[in-house]
């Protein structure tokens, strides 16, 4: 049952609060000046140095400064972002974040010791990473506490964070967030705190958040975490959110949100949407419950007590399509029919990020495929499972497509010869980001599923999630889980997982199976019947070599599956008492990376009926166009 409330439901009290190592913990008090789009904030940061190093410097993400001017690394060279012309942007529409006071526990002021640094591109104009030189070093494994006062001014929404018409606000990347101090592959510890660049989003440590918002009382407020307290005085409201084991905290405010809440399997679901989108409330709920049920069964239990889904008003659509811990933003448009499930698909995608990003907190900047690729793979699985694999994305008047089908087509749209590998930092992928990072990775994972079976794939994902949740897993971690699981479940045919990942993540080779020819030559005809010399010629037109089966069907109905290593050209000759009718490589399309499925199978007796059907259908459409075009003739 979906209920409409003016206050979000409270969180499940059974929810465990100690899941991560809680390195970075924040207590933030926010006073929102809605008119001037400014929040004046006081933040207490409790941070643990988990390294054996003595630290003399702290580094912070100051990402709102990416929207301070067009010389920031994020906006440099961009004249137009989401149809907004950067040159014509008035002063009041820019945003910024500034620290007004930075004090140690002992009351020592460090704000004089702060400076913006530019570790990635040396752009002196960029102010998205702040370094604070400490007066007193932090000792190994020491926990420290700082009082940070800051002011954040939201930009008119350029990308996600910002304000919109009628007091719409989305506060994300809005507070000074400490970077990650971690060991490199060589074992040396260092800051991982990249500047804000396109194609990058999150990388932060887990911790507990308490965020108290003091805002005008006409605003409806939602955010990461759960509301634990709410009160009002004349014209103002005070809401306190609490979130545990989060890597970030986002919140939104808008006077026109309708709030829908329900509980599904112990998880509070809250939907915030403008009234004109009310017909999508049920669709959002269905999508998120499908996500919850499927991901719980195939990945692991949902690790938070609540999920908030924000459907931004269309004037602030740039705030949509995004994920934050315990809060996601969708996107809908008045009038999208139920048979077009782009709305559901997006919600499921963003919800899946609660697993791959929020819980398995991979470095989204350096290895974006580790979250976006996995999320897309499961978006396909969830939607195809609940709505059918050839119709889950849209099914309208005879035209239909599945979600995984769409993902593969995105992968196919890549210019394979010039596109670089998947495994590289997000900022290096200048073009074809989505087809490569989302599409190719998801198609690769679906191919892996086809090779190892869905049951083994589930075991891989479950083990990976169980072992690395609330940590920062890497490519090597995932690959080690695959290797271990495959050791426990040896495959009937040779499969080299190292080759598979090396070629697909770090290489650009492709695969295209083709049945070149089938031949039947009658060689004998006597009282015992005829004999045929049969020949099958197969080829892999690509350089990626993956073994698969091909199925030979004979005229007498016998089917013969044969394993082929998928390497180059393959010619198979034999004598048979019956001629071959069809040969099909990978008939179940397990190797989803194949660039062209149509040439996988060849037949001696082609079924021409569909060709006639679609040619006649096209004829009829042309007749319709004639009729319309000659309306006034």
The number of angstroms, rounded, from the C-alpha of 237 to the middle of its chain's C-alpha atoms is 34
The tokens describing 406, both together, are 């769409």
At residue 117, φ and ψ (nearest 5 deg) are -120, 165
Handedness of CA 376, 377, 382, 386 (dihedral sign): positive
Exactly one of 274, 360, 376, 475 binds another protein (CB under 8 A); which one?
A: 274
> CB of 102 within 8 A of CB of 111?
yes
Residue among 193, 221, 251 nearest 58 (CA): 193
Between residues 315 and 506, which has the closer beta carbon with respect to another protein? 315
| Residue 434 touching another protein (CB under 8 A) | no
Residue 349 CB, nearest distance to another protein (Å)? 19
Residue 622 CB, nearest distance to another protein (Å)? 4
Residue among 568, 356, 561 nearest 473 (CA): 356
Between residues 392 and 485, which has the closer beta carbon with respect to another protein? 392
Exactly one of 79, 142, 567, 624 binds another protein (CB under 8 A); which one?
A: 624
Each residue 380-419 as x (binds another protein by CB under 8 A) or -, in order, gives ----------x------xxxxxx--x--xx--x-------
Distance between CA 378 and CA 445 in Å, rounded?
10
**Cβ burial, residue 328 (10 Å; 0-12/13-18/19+):** buried
Between residues 65 and 406, which has the closer beta carbon with respect to another protein? 406
Between residues 483 and 617, which has the closer beta carbon with respect to another protein? 617
| Residue 528 touching another protein (CB under 8 A) | no
- How many residues of this chain bind another protein (CB under 8 A)? 61
Between residues 47 and 169, which has the closer beta carbon with respect to another protein? 169
Within a 13 Å sphere around the CA of 313, how many CA atoms are in the beta-carbon half?
21
Strand-strand pairing, 327-329 and 306-310: parallel
At residue 549, φ and ψ (nearest 5 deg) are -100, 150
| Residue 234 touching another protein (CB under 8 A) | no
Exactly one of 56, 92, 218, 315 binds another protein (CB under 8 A); which one?
A: 315
Between residues 105 and 166, which has the closer beta carbon with respect to another protein? 166
| Residue 85 touching another protein (CB under 8 A) | no
Within a 13 Å sphere around the CA of 282, how many CA atoms are in the beta-carbon half?
3
Using the CB atoms, write b or e for 37-58: b if 16+ within 10 Å: bbbebbbebbbbbbeebebeeb
Each residue 602-621 as x (binds another protein by CB under 8 A) or -, in order, gives xx--xxxxxxxxxxxxxxx-
Distance between CA 257 and CA 238 in Å, rounded?
18
The tokens describing 143, both together, are 């926990």
Residue 632 CB, nearest distance to another protein (Å)? 4
Q: Provide DSSP, 401-457.
A: E-HHHHHHHHHHTS-TTT---SSS-GGG--S-HIIIIIIIHHHHHHHHHHHH-HHHH
Residue 562 CB, nearest distance to another protein (Å)? 16
Between residues 154 and 269, which has the closer beta carbon with respect to another protein? 154
Exactly one of 17, 92, 165, 522 binds another protein (CB under 8 A); which one?
A: 165
How many residues are recorded in the chain? Answer: 633
| Residue 231 touching another protein (CB under 8 A) | no
| Residue 337 touching another protein (CB under 8 A) | no
**Cβ burial, residue 116 (10 Å; 0-12/13-18/19+):** middle
Exactly one of 313, 435, 542, 579 binds another protein (CB under 8 A); which one?
A: 313
Residue among 53, 244, 44, 211 nearest 144 (CA): 44
Exactly one of 96, 270, 582, 586 binds another protein (CB under 8 A); which one?
A: 582
Query: How many of the other CB atoms lie within 10 Å of CB of 553?
Result: 18
Between residues 470 and 597, which has the closer beta carbon with respect to another protein? 597
| Residue 542 touching another protein (CB under 8 A) | no
Exactly one of 25, 50, 441, 600 binds another protein (CB under 8 A); which one?
A: 600
| Residue 279 touching another protein (CB under 8 A) | no
Contact residues for another protein, defined by CB under 8 A: 83, 165-166, 274, 276, 313-315, 317, 333-335, 390, 397-402, 405, 408-409, 412, 582, 584, 587, 595-603, 606-620, 622-627, 629-633
């Amino acid at each position: 049952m979906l209920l409409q409330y003016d206050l979000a439901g409270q969180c499940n009290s059974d929810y465990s609060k100690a899941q991560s190592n809680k390195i970075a913990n924040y207590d933030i008090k926010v006073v929102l000046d809605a008119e001037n789009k400014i929040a004046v904030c006081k933040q207490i940061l409790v941070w643990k140095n988990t390294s054996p190093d003595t630290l003399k410097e702290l580094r912070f993400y100051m990402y709102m400064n990416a929207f301070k001017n067009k010389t920031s690394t994020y906006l440099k060279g961009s004249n137009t972002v989401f149809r907004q012309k950067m040159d014509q942007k008035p002063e009041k529409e820019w945003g910024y974040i500034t620290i007004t006071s930075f004090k140690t526990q002992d009351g020592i002021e460090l704000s004089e010791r702060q400076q913006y640094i530019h570790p990635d591109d040396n752009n002196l104009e960029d102010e998205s990473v702040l370094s604070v030189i400490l007066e007193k070093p932090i000792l190994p494994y020491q926990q420290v506490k700082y009082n940070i006062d800051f002011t954040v001014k939201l930009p008119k929404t350029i990308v996600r964070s910002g304000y919109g018409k009628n007091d719409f606000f989305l506060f994300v990347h809005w507070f000074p967030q400490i970077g990650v101090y971690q060991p490199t592959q060589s074992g040396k510890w260092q800051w991982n705190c990249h500047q804000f660049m396109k194609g990058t989003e999150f990388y932060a440590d887990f911790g507990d958040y308490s965020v108290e918002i003091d805002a005008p009382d006409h605003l409806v407020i939602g955010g990461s975490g759960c509301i634990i307290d709410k009160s009002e005085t004349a014209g103002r409201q005070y809401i306190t959110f609490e979130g545990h084991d989060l890597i970030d905290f986002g919140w939104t405010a808008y006077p026109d949100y309708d709030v829908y809440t329900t509980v599904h399997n112990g998880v509070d679901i809250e939907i915030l949407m403008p009234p004109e989108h009310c017909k999508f409330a049920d669709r959002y709920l269905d999508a998120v419950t499908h996500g919850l049920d499927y991901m719980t069964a195939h990945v692991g239990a949902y690790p938070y007590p609540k999920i908030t889904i924000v459907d931004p008003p269309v004037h602030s659509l740039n705030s949509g399509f995004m994920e934050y811990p315990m809060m996601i933003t969708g996107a809908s448009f008045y009038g999208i029919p139920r048979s077009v499930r782009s709305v559901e698909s997006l919600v499921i995608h963003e919800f899946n990020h609660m697993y791959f990003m929020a819980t398995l907190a991979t470095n989204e900047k350096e290895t974006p495929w580790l979250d976006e690729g996995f999320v897309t793979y499961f978006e396909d699985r969830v939607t195809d499972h609940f709505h059918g694999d050839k119709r889950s994305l849209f099914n309208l008047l005879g035209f239909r497509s599945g979600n995984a089908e769409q993902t593969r087509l995105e992968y196919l749209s890549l210019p394979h010869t010039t596109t670089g590998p998947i495994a590289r930092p997000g900022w290096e992928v200048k073009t074809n980001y989505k087809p490569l990072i989302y599409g190719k990775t998801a198609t690769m994972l679906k191919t892996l599923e086809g090779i190892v079976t869905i049951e083994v794939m589930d075991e891989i994902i479950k083990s990976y999630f169980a072992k690395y949740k609330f940590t920062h897993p890497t490519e090597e971690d995932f690959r080690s889980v695959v290797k271990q699981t495959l050791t426990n479940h040896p495959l009937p045919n040779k499969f080299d997982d190292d080759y598979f990942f090396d070629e697909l993540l770090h290489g650009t080779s492709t695969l295209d199976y083709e049945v070149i020819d089938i031949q039947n030559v009658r060689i004998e005809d006597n009282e015992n019947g005829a004999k045929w010399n049969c020949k099958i010629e197969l080829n892999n037109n690509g350089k990626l070599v993956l073994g698969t089966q091909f199925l030979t069907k004979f005229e007498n109905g016998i089917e013969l599956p044969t394993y082929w290593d998928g390497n180059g050209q393959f010619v198979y000759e034999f004598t048979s008492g019956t001629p071959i009718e069809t040969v099909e490589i990978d008939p179940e399309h397990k190797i989803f990376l194949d660039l062209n499925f149509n040439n996988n199978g060849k037949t001696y007796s082609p079924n021409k009926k569909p060709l006639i059907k679609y040619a006649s259908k096209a004829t009829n459409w042309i007749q319709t166009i004639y009729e319309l075009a000659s309306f006034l003739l």
